Amino acid sequence: MTVPVRRFDAVIVGGGGAGMRAALQLSESGLKTAVLSKVFPTRSHTVAAQGGISASLGNVQEDRWEWHMYDTVKGSDWLGDQDAIEFMCRKAPEAVIELEHFGMPFDRLENGKIYQRPFGGHTQNNGESPVQRACAAADRTGHAMLHTLYQRNVRANTQFFVEWMALDLIRDEAGDVVGVTALEMETGEVYIFHAKAVLFATGGAGRIYAASTNAFINTGDGLGMCVRAGIPLEDMEFWQFHPTGVAGAGVLITEGVRGEGGILLNANGERFMERYAPNLKDLAPRDFVARSMEQEVLEGRGCGPNKDYVLLKLDHLGPDIIKQRLPGIREIAIKFAGVDPIKEPIPVIPTCHYMMGGIPTNYRGEVVIPQGDNPEARVNGFYAAGECACASVHGANRLGTNSLLDLVVFGKSAGDSMVEFIRNEMPNWKPLPANAAERSLARISRLDNQTNGEDVTEVRTAMQRTVQARAAVFRNSENLALGVKEIQEVAERVKRIQIKDKSKVFNTARVEALELENLIEVAVATLISADARKESRGAHAHADFQQRDDEVWMKHTLYYGDDRRLTYKPVHTKPLSVDYIPPKERTF
């Protein structure tokens, strides 16, 4: 079967903040650049980022990039690579000012400079006192960033392929990346995108969890493509959670609700936080509350038909306080939980928010994998940036407002690296391998021909329940070992998923099946990586190994999908220009 080929200097998969920042760099350099996106670029999940973007501009209070670096290293629980962290924090002021020059409407001070707001974990002088470092465009920072970057890209002649889903990475015999295959949803046809360099900016994969704040499009497509192409995934055991999302929906209930007197109850109506934290009770730290909630569920005291959530009770506060001090919460509860909190408690569960791990890269955005004695050999022609990449700046836990910063700093850096690579090393296209589209065509053909198979929605739900029950915030050896076994059983079922609608044009059932094939790779990587890490660090809190163990475990996990094995590589302890920040106990 002949598959049509389209040729570009650079192909970018994903039209969110990172993909569009990289595309701009390439297009403005005069290179022919394509961006493939499942949805219209300004509807990427970057739009959900409200908090802001951090940079040590010092517009409100004295600030230095070195302090931002310290906060990021500490936030990462010393799993972040300090060269990449220095690179990001040093570049932050320049990146934000550049966005301002592009026309991004930041909030301003009276003197005209960009306003900066306080944010958890942002400090002066290495933890001494809080500092105002977050730059924002009202509560629409992500939205403003997407629109700004989209307009610039249109002006720079970036070619957008909207409603195209990338299917597989194309590597030649030497292992170099020479393109991707992609499905045009409008026609159902598969194409080859032949490129001198490919960048993945496919975002997170939070949909592996039953409880997730991520939009439905966040299915880890780039990660799935990597696993199938023999590229390992880094630090997949680290996922950031929020304690109170609406069960079954994922929409967040602000922590302010507990501050105003909301309390958590189990199925017996017991205020269980009194047992875990006799003094602070429901106001104990975020991760502690989340783990206690899950422990209740695991010990059979969860609520509902599946006993899989706890209740957040507010009715004792009275209707006036709920309406006055917690605006919007009542509407969220009614709309997404189907309960009026004036009368009934809200079902809640710890909810996945952000993926710290991803495709292994260096701070230049180059994808790097172990080869011989070199733990970080460059994969020629392959780049990644944004949430799908692991540079690693977030390490074991991400500092708030560093995600938007990550997108623009590493999007640009990867774009620069690609321009340099194409100009200096790849003036002409490497030939495509003869079987370039084989894997993708086989996947589609299996879906079309499968009979007596499994239902996509059912298998996806089984995957999400397993990951939620075994690898959310409460982790122990027994539970993780069970999870490894169970998720591999679900992975066997994914091999037999079936779709009823076999039509070609805009077949969303087919797209969802292909997405599930990506999600399951991420889910298996998460369970296997988490099961192996016998310590507690950042977001990976292990009940049987409660201490951080720098001696043994200050290292990055690498997961290979072909034989589901793990290897490890060292954390970068040499920053680019400053002294190493040695590990300390992480207290706040």
Partner 1 sequence: MTDIDPVEIKRIRWRSRRGLLELDIVLERFLANGFDQLTMAELAAYRKCLELGDNDFLDYVNGKAEVDDPELAHIIGILRAV
Active-site positions read 286
Q: What are phi and psi of 80, to 5 degrees?
A: -70, 150
Nearer to partner 1, 102 or 216 (CB): 216
Q: Return the residue matching tokens 């206690």.
A: 292
d(CA 44, CA 17): 8
Q: What is the nearest approach in angstroms of partner 1 to the Cβ of residue 49?
A: 10
Q: Which is nearer to partner 1, 207 or 556 (CB)?
A: 207
Beta carbons within 8 Å of 485's beta carbon, 6+ residues apart? none
Q: Which residues form the interface with partner 1 (CB under 8 A)?
A: 38-40, 42-48, 140, 143, 147, 163, 185-186, 212-217, 249-251, 328, 331, 335-336, 505-508, 511
Q: Cβ 469 to partner 1, closest distance in Å?
A: 21
Comparison of 48 and 576: residue with beta carbon closer to partner 1: 48
Give the nearer residue to partner 1 in terms of CB position, either 244 or 292.
244
Report how far residue 342's alpha carbon sits from residue 339's, in angstroms, rounded to the nearest whole number: 9
SS3 339: coil
Cβ 143 to partner 1 shortest distance, Å? 5
Which amino acid is it at 540? H
Nearer to partner 1, 132 or 213 (CB): 213
DSSP 151-206: HHHHHTTPEEEETEEEEEEEE-TTS-EEEEEEEETTTTEEEEEEEEEEEE-----G
Listed residue (227, 321, 273, 259) closest to 525, CA to CA: 227
Shortest spacing between CB 47 and partner 1, in angstroms:
4
Give min distance, CB of 202 to partner 1, in A: 14
Question: Cis bond leading into 440, ω under 30°?
Answer: no
Burial of 52-78, coded b for 16+ CB within 10 Å and e otherwise, reads bbbbbbbbbeebebbbbbbbbbbbbbb
Which residues on adjacent β-strands are paired with residue 384?
200
In the bound complex, what is the minimum distance in angstroms from residue 407's beta carbon to partner 1? Answer: 14
Cβ atoms of 9 and 32 within 8 Å: the answer is yes
The least distance separating partner 1 from the CB of residue 322, rounded to whole angstroms, comes to 17
Reading phi first (left if > 0) and then psi (alpha if -120 to 50, else beta), residue 564 is in left
Give the helix, strand, coil percentages of the chain, each rounded to 5. Answer: 35, 25, 40
